[in-house]
């Protein structure tokens, strides 16, 4: 029982920034302890978008899990698919054919550009620069059209499968991609013109949400959160996967670890992604797009229902659907540099066609851990900028 | 003991072990097509080829016996290539029918091609096309898909003693199938369908309905006969669509009744709401109302001094018998209970062997008083097994046996009604007394009996007393057994008569069903509760049943369909099938087995134990608080562990009435025996109408032709039926089919299964 | 301080003279890609018979369990060229995730996804979203 004196001694004001909020980028709930307008503590409460992905994956075959993974970070679906397929391929010990590797890199980097575009748009809009939002969506629309051309839908493509990619790139894709890459630098310049030297922007973002090097490493922040604090760590360079070792690109880092630095890091990342895509387009070879044809994903439709129908191909199609391939027993962890940070899949396989355990290391969830640290001492109005700089997507936080 | 190394693992095996068996011991898997654990290995398919160090060719693992010091590789490059190429050859002629083939999901060819084959074959040719044969309502034979493993032919030869199924032509034109028949339904056809590794033999009942991976399988026990084979019931959306037999025990084989006899569960004519009689109509009511009504009327009857009886089917679970028995004995206060609705007056006896393996170990068999392949089909296969392999001799004293006689060393085929006479004669022979006079009029020769007696004394036989034996017959058989130093194994009707007996569902005074029905006629018993059986179909005295039911004040019937018994009832309570409720059943070896529920009871259907519970609640003296059947099981287990003494029933049964020209045995055809088989559409198609069978020579003597329409006259009743000639009928006798709920054959019987009949040609 | 602000304003005002990029749906519709994964359609073959033979692969591969399928025999080969048809074929559009696995899995190419994405239903209640065979067929439901 508190005395009256003790009651009146309490000086922080608890404010619920509830799951329904236009600036929390999803259903994020933050419980704020305020002293006037200054934040003493900001505790994020997550789980409002939890859909049981890891548990659902235990009852689906390896192929059927892909659509679940798409829906984790719904703004950069190819990247997440990429990580999952790489993990299963590592478990199987399968090497993907070169054409499929390069197609994956192209689409993953395109997803990175798309993800950063929407990050920029919503971050700027939260701080107040609503115009930027509409401009970035104009560019993002082109990425949607590109993905629609390749996979058939704008989001949740499930384009990558274990062993390769589902279909080859269609005919108009590469010209349109080149067109997009041609206009991209000028568009990025447009955004920079609006924001980078803008006094209002700098006042709102500089010095805000400073994450020191040590704190970033200690809290497990990855991606631009880590690089903005000056740590030169990118999994594409540290543990190259899927042919990234052959490409030349830089890793942008920041100096101070504040919101402004991270903004600059991400803008530069977009430019570097463009560089990677151009190199991949140069090197794109011809060839098959599946490894171990017929054993991991459906065989060529021509062999199943086309002119060159084959009973063996039909049988493989049947068994892949009804049973699925059996990876060898074992465990594997494979991580990639997703747009938001390190995305890792830990799969435990017991020899059956369904994963025994699928554990997902989500970048946004880990980055969200830094929120209390970043926001202490700042004003409530700055909280929105901090949440924006974390670049979280709630699907990525809650699974 | 030879020592071998398989894939690097060393093992010592007994001499004579094949490579395949040795590999199974160490857990190494070798793919096989034609090998089956319960058939003799044949080495036909060559899928099991393995490499042995030092041998120039690859050896078939299923038939090659290991030699000391061999090093065996089951996954070397040569073996892998061999498997790949073999599958390519098998696929050359295989049609692209996976989308419509019912075997998809359990097809061994699919599994092997996925594991060991390549997604493209290199040989392109038009496959040789065979026609699809619909061999009756049970199976469909599509030769296009056959991989010539010959499992079906080997099963037919080894287990069934040879049927019309064989391999014809040769080379690429080889056909496997029946030679003469258009309808192949030989009691064990289900096994052939289960053995076939591809979709060449598929079920016509399950055809195309759904895919096997959509079915949920529940473990249960078959309800048709006492052997109690384990079944896996496949249900989808509350429909029982397929049944699998996946366990190798008690027997790897199952009969057609178990495998195909479940269509009645989802029959469209099933009535799943209670009905109550109002004048001439039966009106649908709620379960509450119905139970209230029944409890009220029964209470009224009991309070006014009338008696109530309960007759239930011997196919239900122990929980049903226990609670219904408690209701009748403790709440209603009545002792008139019985389950022996197939007739007869014997109680179950403890078995002489405890499993089918014990049966298969015997060196000789004496079977008396039942065609085992009709009422205990899997037991017949076990008996036949030893005889086929030459290990055992079989001696039959059975009228009209249709299966085991092929394996019998000595076969006595007495006239209907004379089986026990022959048994008496056998006892006399063994006792060294005169027996010729006893054999008069039985159509069994003295030589047969002498040879039989001699054979029985040479090797210790397993004596099987069939369900047709009267109490006197059982005493005789026990006497024979005593002389030979053996206790016989007695068989009963129904699938859980042992359970019913153990739960005490019988009258302590030893009254038989006949006594109870007579008391109904006399008015002493005023109320009757009948469950899960159509008395007019199965009880061998249709006239008595009619009189009894007409004289009752109150009749409650608990059943699934609108049978003739229901037409006499005052209240109808809907029953569940064996798939909708769990419970314990006791099989012929007094082994308790657990059934599980595949899906919830349809609409208002209730199992018998729930009816008893509901009635007791409405009466005001609830039996207890039981939510599910598992709550009752502990009580059942307790009762099962007690010893129950049966009263003596000698002298209670009247002798068979055999006035009339031709002594006839009234016996179920295979596809009409068992529970509710007249609502299984496939079986009804196979045996649509009742018929009389005569021995061909005797039929010629009487001036008939095979396929004639005849009038059978018994006691002034005339039955119009078809006549068939069958070799297994004894000369001078006839066998009449029964078990048709829409044909009143039981009017011709008077308590036992033999009657003298008169036959004459029907005037067109 | 003013310089960067003016630069930004120049960007914004520049857009006044550029064409608008808004697509005025539903009066204008953006063309969709050839591979678009819209509504499903069950195809007929050249003789007008159903291609779908109820093999159940689409039902088995669907990650969401949106397809329900019961087969039946067509002994006279009237409605199918192989003697087997789907008696019940339902897609539950409240569960369908438009992943396209059913199209990939179909061994006869009987189910395809069209470019039709306008799938709103007339009223509340999920019953509207269970589309059965009639609706999915080429002739009647599928354009």
DSSP symbol at B381: H
* B706 domain residue, yes or no: yes
Q: Going by C-beta distance under 8 Å and a sequence separation of 6 or more, which residues neighbour residue C141?
A: C41, C131, C134, C135
* B113 domain residue, yes or no: no
The gap between the terminal CA atoms of chain B, to the nearest Å, is 75
For residue A178, pLDDT over 90 is answered with yes
Rounded to whole angstroms, the Cα distance separating B580 from B598 reads 6
Chain A: touching chains (3 or more CB pairs < 8 Å): B, C
* B93 domain residue, yes or no: no
Do the beta carbons of residue B732 and residue B698 sit within 8 Å?
Answer: yes
Helix (H) / strand (E) containing B59 = strand B59-60
Mean pLDDT, chain A, whole residue set: 90
* Residues B502 and B485 placed together within one structural domain of the fold: no
* B646 domain residue, yes or no: no
% chain A with pLDDT above 90: 59
Token match 């000028």: residue?
Answer: A186
A312/B91 Cβ within 8 A: yes
pLDDT of residue B652: 53
B110/A318 Cβ within 8 A: yes
* Residues B369 and B461 placed together within one structural domain of the fold: yes
Q: Going by C-beta distance under 8 Å and a sequence separation of 6 or more, which residues neighbour residue A131?
A: A194, C12
Rounded to whole angstroms, the Cα distance separating B735 from B639 reads 40
Between strands A330-338 and A341-349, the pairing is: antiparallel
Residue B691 corresponds to which tokens in the numbers above? Answer: 């018929």
Chosen domain end from B75, B101, B117 = B75
Other beta carbons within 10 angstroms of residue B136's beta carbon come to 18
Chain A residue with CA closest to C117: the answer is: A153
* C83 domain residue, yes or no: yes
pLDDT of residue B260: 92
Domain count, chain C: 1
* Residues B285 and B258 placed together within one structural domain of the fold: no
* Residues B315 and B373 placed together within one structural domain of the fold: no
Residue B750 corresponds to which tokens in the numbers above? Answer: 């008077």
Domain count, chain B: 5
For residue A100, pLDDT over 90 is answered with yes
What pLDDT, in 10s, does the model give residues A67-80?
999 899 899 899 99
| Nearest to A199, CA basis, from C13, C14, C8 | C8
* Residues B503 and B624 placed together within one structural domain of the fold: yes
C59/B208 Cβ within 8 A: no
* Residues B328 and B219 placed together within one structural domain of the fold: no
Q: Going by C-beta distance under 8 Å and a sequence separation of 6 or more, which residues neighbour residue B303?
A: none
* E strands, chain A, in order: 13-17, 29-35, 38-45, 160-161, 164-165, 330-338, 341-349, 357-361
Q: Which pLDDT band, with edges at 50, 70 and 90, does C122 fall under?
A: confident
Do the beta carbons of residue B130 and residue B679 sit within 8 Å?
Answer: no
Which CATH number do you get for residue B392? 3.40.228.10
DSSP symbol at B42: -
Query: From the centroid of its chain, how far is CA B17?
Result: 35
Which CATH number do you get for residue C116? 3.30.70.3270
Do the beta carbons of residue B344 and residue B369 sit within 8 Å?
Answer: no
* Partner-chain residue, chosen from A303, A309, A315, that has the shortest CB–CB distance to B113: A315
Do the beta carbons of residue A165 and residue A284 sit within 8 Å?
Answer: no
Q: Which residues of A touch B91 (CB under 8 A)?
A: 311-312, 315
CA distance B106 to chain A (A): 10
ipTM above 0.90, yes or no: no
- Three-state DSSP class for residue A81: helix
For residue C140, pLDDT over 60 is answered with no
Rounded to whole angstroms, the Cα distance separating A343 from A86 reads 11
Between strands B461-465 and B489-490, the pairing is: parallel
pLDDT of residue B657: 56
Low-confidence ranges of chain B (pLDDT < 70): 649-659, 764
* C20 domain residue, yes or no: no
Residue B437: exposure state from Cβ atoms within 10 A (0-12, 13-18, ≥19): exposed
Rounded to whole angstroms, the Cα distance separating B224 from A233 reads 72
Residue A338 corresponds to which tokens in the numbers above? Answer: 């997703």
Q: For residue C26, is the peptide bond before it cis, meaning its omega torsion is within 30 degrees of 0?
A: yes
Q: Going by C-beta distance under 8 Å and a sequence separation of 6 or more, which residues neighbour residue B68?
A: B2, B3, B4
Which CATH number do you get for residue B62? 3.10.20.740
- Three-state DSSP class for residue B167: strand
* Residues B673 and B625 placed together within one structural domain of the fold: no
pLDDT of residue C66: 92
Rounded to whole angstroms, the Cα distance separating B612 from B370 reads 34
Parent domain of C130 = 33-137
| Nearest to A107, CA basis, from A239, A287, A286, A280 | A280
* C128 domain residue, yes or no: yes
Other beta carbons within 10 angstroms of residue B173's beta carbon come to 9
Q: Which residues of B touch C62 (CB under 8 A)?
A: none
* B38 domain residue, yes or no: yes
Chosen domain end from B490, B513, B541 = B490
Question: Helix B542-551 and helix B513-522: axis angle, to 10°?
Answer: 40
Ordered alpha helix ranges (H), B332-398: 356-361, 372-375, 377-388
What pLDDT, in 10s, does the model give residues A213-264?
999 999 989 999 999 998 999 999 999 988 898 899 999 998 888 899 999 9
What domains sit in chain A, N to C, each tagged with a CATH number? 59-398 (1.10.645.10)
**Number of alpha helices (DSSP H) and beta strands (DSSP E) in chain B:** 23, 33
DSSP symbol at B144: G
Rounded to whole angstroms, the Cα distance separating A91 from A85 reads 10
The gap between the terminal CA atoms of chain A, to the nearest Å, is 40
* C100 domain residue, yes or no: yes
* Residues B485 and B501 placed together within one structural domain of the fold: no
* Residues B138 and B256 placed together within one structural domain of the fold: yes
Chosen domain end from B445, B466, B490 = B490
| Nearest to C97, CA basis, from A147, A67, A74 | A67
For residue C110, pLDDT over 60 is answered with yes
pLDDT of residue B77: 92
* C3 domain residue, yes or no: no
Parent domain of B750 = 662-761
Q: Annotate A344-393 with DSSP letters as a single string.
A: EEEEEE-SSSS-SEEEEE-HHHHHHTTHHHHHTTSBHHHHHHHHHHHT--
Between strands B734-737 and B662-667, the pairing is: parallel
Chain C residue with CA closest to A300: the answer is: C104
Rounded to whole angstroms, the Cα distance separating B207 from B209 reads 6
Rounded to whole angstroms, the Cα distance separating A27 from A15 reads 16
What pLDDT, in 10s, does the model give residues B682-694?
999 999 989 999 9
Other beta carbons within 10 angstroms of residue B546's beta carbon come to 19
* B-interface mutation test, from C51, C52, C56, most B Cβ less than 10 A away: C56
CA-based torsion, B646, B651, B652, B656: positive or negative: positive
Question: Helix B608-619 and helix B287-303: axis angle, to 10°?
Answer: 60
Residue C91 corresponds to which tokens in the numbers above? Answer: 């897609």
Rounded to whole angstroms, the Cα distance separating B650 from C62 reads 66
Q: Which pLDDT band, with edges at 50, 70 and 90, does C143 fall under?
A: very low
Q: Annotate chain C with DSSP letters as a single string.
A: -HHHHHHHHHHHHHGGGSPP----TTTS-PPPPTT----EEE-B-TTS-B------HHHHH-TT--EEEEEEE-TT-SSBSSSEEEEEEEEETTT-----HHHHH-TT--EEE-S------SSSSGGGGEE-HHHHBTTTT--
pLDDT of residue A197: 84
Chain B residue with CA closest to A315: the answer is: B110
* B112 domain residue, yes or no: no
* B101 domain residue, yes or no: no
* Partner-chain residue, chosen from B95, B96, B114, that has the shortest CB–CB distance to A319: B114
B104/A295 Cβ within 8 A: no
Query: From the centroid of its chain, how far is CA A381?
Result: 27
Chain B: touching chains (3 or more CB pairs < 8 Å): A, C
* B294 domain residue, yes or no: yes
* C124 domain residue, yes or no: yes
- Three-state DSSP class for residue B701: helix
Q: Annotate C94-125 with DSSP letters as a single string.
A: TT-----HHHHH-TT--EEE-S------SSSS
CA distance B119 to chain A (A): 5
Do the beta carbons of residue B137 and residue B115 sit within 8 Å?
Answer: no
Own/partner contacts of B192-196, CB < 8 Å, gap of 24 or more, are B192/B139, B192/B152, B192/B155, B192/B156, B192/B165, B193/B139, B193/B259, B194/B244, B194/B245, B194/B259, B195/B36, B195/B39, B195/B151, B195/B152, B195/B155, B196/B103, B196/B151, B196/B152
**Number of alpha helices (DSSP H) and beta strands (DSSP E) in chain A:** 18, 8
Rounded to whole angstroms, the Cα distance separating B663 from B734 reads 6
Q: Going by C-beta distance under 8 Å and a sequence separation of 6 or more, which residues neighbour residue B314?
A: B339, B340, B341, B342, B492, B493, B494, B495, B496, B497, B500
Other beta carbons within 10 angstroms of residue B271's beta carbon come to 19
Chain C interface includes B99 (CB < 8 A): yes
The gap between the terminal CA atoms of chain C, to the nearest Å, is 60
C4/A198 Cβ within 8 A: yes
pLDDT of residue C127: 76
CA distance B255 to chain A (A): 30
Report CA-CA distances (Å) from C8 to A66, A131, A385.
42, 10, 20
């Amino acid at each position: 029982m508190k005395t009256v004196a003790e009651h009146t001694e309490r000086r922080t004001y608890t404010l619920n920034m509830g799951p329904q909020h236009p600036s929390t980028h999803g259903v994020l709930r933050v419980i704020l302890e305020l002293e006037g307008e200054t934040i003493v503590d900001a505790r994020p409460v997550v789980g409002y978008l939890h859909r049981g992905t890891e548990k659902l994956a235990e009852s689906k075959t390896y192929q059927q899990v892909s659509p679940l993974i798409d829906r984790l970070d719904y703004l950069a679906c190819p990247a997440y698919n990429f990580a999952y397929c790489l993990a299963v391929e590592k478990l199987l010990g399968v090497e993907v054919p070169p054409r499929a590797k390069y197609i994956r890199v192209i689409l993953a980097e395109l997803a990175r550009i798309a993800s950063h575009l929407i990050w920029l748009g919503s971050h700027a809009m939260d701080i107040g620069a609503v115009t930027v939002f509409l401009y970035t969506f104009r560019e993002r629309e082109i990425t949607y059209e590109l993905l629609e051309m390749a996979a058939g839908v704008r989001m949740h493509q499930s384009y990558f499968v274990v062993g390769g990619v589902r279909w080859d790139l269609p005919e108009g894709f590469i010209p349109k991609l080149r067109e997009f890459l041609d206009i991209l630098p000028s568009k990025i310049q447009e955004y920079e013109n609006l924001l980078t030297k803008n006094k209002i922007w700098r006042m709102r973002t500089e010095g805000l949400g400073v994450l020191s090097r040590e704190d970033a490493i200690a809290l497990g922040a990855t991606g631009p959160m880590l690089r903005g604090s000056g740590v030169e760590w990118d999994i594409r360079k540290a543990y190259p996967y899927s042919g990234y070792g052959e490409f030349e690109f830089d890793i942008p880092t920041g100096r101070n670890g504040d919101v402004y630095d991270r903004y600059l890091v991400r803008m530069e990342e977009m430019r570097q992604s463009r560089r990677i895509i151009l190199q991949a387009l140069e090197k794109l070879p011809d060839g098959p797009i599946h490894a171990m044809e017929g054993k991991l994903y459906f065989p060529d439709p021509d062999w199943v229902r086309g002119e060159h129908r084959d009973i063996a191909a039909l049988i493989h199609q049947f068994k892949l659907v009804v049973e699925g391939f059996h990876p060898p027993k074992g465990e594997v962890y494979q991580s990639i540099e997703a747009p938001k940070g390190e995305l890792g899949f830990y799969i435990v396989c017991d020899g059956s066609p369904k994963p025994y355990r699928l554990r997902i290391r989500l970048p946004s969830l880990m980055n969200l851990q830094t929120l209390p640290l970043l926001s202490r001492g700042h004003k409530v109005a700055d909280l929105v900028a901090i949440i924006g700089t974390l670049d979280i997507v709630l699907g990525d936080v809650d699974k | 003991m030879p020592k071998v190394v398989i894939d690097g693992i060393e093992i010592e095996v007994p001499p004579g072990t094949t490579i395949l068996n040795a590999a199974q011991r160490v857990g190494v898997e070798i793919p096989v097509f034609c090998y089956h654990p319960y058939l003799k290995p044949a080495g036909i398919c060559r899928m099991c080829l393995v490499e042995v160090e030092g041998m120039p060719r690859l050896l078939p693992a299923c038939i090659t016996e290991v030699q000391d010091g061999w090093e065996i590789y089951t996954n070397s490059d040569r073996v892998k290539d061999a498997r790949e190429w073999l599958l390519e050859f098998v696929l050359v002629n295989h049609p692209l029918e996976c989308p419509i083939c019912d075997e998809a999901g359990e097809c061994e060819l699919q599994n092997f091609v996925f594991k060991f084959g390549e997604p493209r074959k290199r040989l392109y040719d038009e496959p040789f096309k065979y026609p699809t044969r619909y061999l009756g309502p049970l199976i469909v034979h599509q030769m296009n898909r056959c991989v010539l493993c010959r499992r079906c032919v080997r099963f037919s030869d080894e287990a069934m003693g040879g049927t019309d199924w064989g391999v014809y032509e040769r080379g690429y034109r080889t056909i496997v199938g029946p030679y003469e028949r258009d309808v192949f339904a030989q009691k064990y056809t289900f096994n052939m369908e289960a053995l076939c590794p591809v979709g060449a033999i598929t079920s016509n009942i399950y055809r195309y309905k759904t895919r096997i991976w959509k079915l949920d399988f529940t473990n249960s026990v078959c309800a048709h006969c006492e052997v109690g084979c384990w079944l896996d019931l496949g249900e989808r959306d509350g429909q029982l669509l397929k049944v699998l037999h996946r366990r190798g025990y008690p027997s790897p084989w199952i009969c057609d009744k178990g495998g195909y006899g479940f269509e009645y569960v989802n029959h469209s004519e099933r009535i799943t709401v209670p009905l109550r009689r109002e004048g001439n109509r039966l009106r649908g009511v709620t379960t509450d109302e119905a139970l209230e009504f029944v409890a009220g009327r029964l209470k009224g009857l009991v309070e006014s001094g009338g008696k109530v009886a309960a007759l239930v089917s011997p196919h239900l679970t122990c929980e049903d018998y226990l609670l219904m028995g408690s209701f009748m004995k403790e709440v209603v206060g009545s002792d008139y209970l019985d389950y022996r609705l197939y007739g007869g007056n014997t109680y179950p006896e403890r078995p002489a062997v405890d499993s089918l393996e014990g049966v298969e170990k015997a060196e000789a068999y004496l079977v008396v008083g039942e065609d085992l392949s009709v009422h205990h089909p899997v037991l017949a296969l076990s008996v036949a097994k030893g005889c086929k392999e030459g290990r055992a001799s079989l001696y039959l004293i059975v009228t009209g046996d249709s299966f085991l006689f092929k394996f019998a060393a000595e076969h006595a085929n007495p006239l209907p009604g004379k089986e026990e006479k022959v048994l008496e004669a056998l006892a006399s022979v063994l006792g060294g007394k005169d027996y010729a006079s006893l054999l008069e009029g039985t159509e069994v020769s003295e030589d047969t009996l002498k040879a039989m007696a001699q054979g029985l004394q040479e090797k210790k036989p397993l004596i099987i007393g069939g369900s047709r034996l009267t109490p006197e017959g059982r005493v005789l058989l026990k006497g024979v057994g005593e002389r030979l130093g053996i206790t016989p194994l007695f068989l009963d009707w129904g699938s859980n008569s042992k359970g019913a007996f153990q739960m005490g569902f019988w009258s302590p005074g030893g009254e038989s069903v006949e006594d109870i029905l007579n008391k109904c006629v006399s008015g002493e018993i005023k109320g009757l509760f009948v469950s899960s059986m159509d008395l007019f179909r199965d009880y061998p005295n249709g006239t008595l049943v009619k009189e009894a039911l007409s004289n009752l004040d109150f009749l409650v019937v608990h059943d699934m369909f609108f049978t003739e018994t229901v037409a006499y009832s005052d209240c109808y309570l809907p029953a569940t099938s064996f798939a909708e409720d769990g419970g314990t059943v006791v099989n012929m070896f007094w082994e308790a087995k657990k059934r599980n529920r595949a899906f919830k009871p349809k609409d208002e259907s209730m199992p018998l134990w729930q009816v008893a519970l509901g009635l007791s609640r409405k009466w005001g003296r609830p039996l207890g608080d039981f939510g599910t059947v598992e709550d009752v099981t502990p009580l059942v287990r307790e009762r099962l562990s007690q010893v129950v003494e049966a009263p003596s029933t000698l002298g209670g049964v009247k002798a068979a009435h055999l006035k009339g020209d031709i002594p006839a045995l009234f016996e179920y055809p295979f596809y009409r025996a068992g529970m509710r088989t007249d609502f299984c559409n496939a079986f009804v198609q196979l045996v649509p109408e009742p018929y009389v069978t005569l021995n061909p020579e005797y039929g010629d003597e009487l001036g008939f032709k095979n396929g004639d329409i005849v009038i059978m006259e018994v006691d002034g009743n005339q039955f119009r039926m078809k006549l068939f000639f069958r070799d297994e009928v004894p000369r001078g006798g006839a066998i009449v089919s029964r078990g048709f709920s829409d044909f009143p054959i039981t009017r011709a019987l008077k308590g036992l299964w033999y009657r003298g009949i008169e036959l004459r040609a029907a005037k067109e | 301080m003013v310089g960067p602000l003016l630069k930004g304003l120049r960007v914004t005002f520049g857009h006044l003279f550029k064409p608008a990029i808004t697509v005025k749906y539903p009066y204008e519709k953006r063309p969709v890609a050839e591979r678009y994964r819209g509504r499903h359609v069950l195809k007929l073959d050249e003789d007008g018979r159903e291609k779908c033979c109820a093999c159940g692969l689409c039902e088995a591969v669907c990650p969401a369990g949106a397809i329900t399928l019961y087969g039946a025999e067509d002994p006279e080969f009237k409605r199918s060229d192989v003697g087997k048809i789907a008696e019940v074929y339902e897609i539950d559009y409240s569960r369908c995730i438009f992943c396209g696995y059913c199209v990939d899995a179909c061994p006869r190419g009987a189910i395809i996804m069209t470019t039709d994405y306008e799938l709103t239903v007339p009223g509340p209640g999920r019953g509207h979203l269970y589309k059965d065979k009639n609706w999915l067929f080429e002739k009647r439901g599928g354009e």
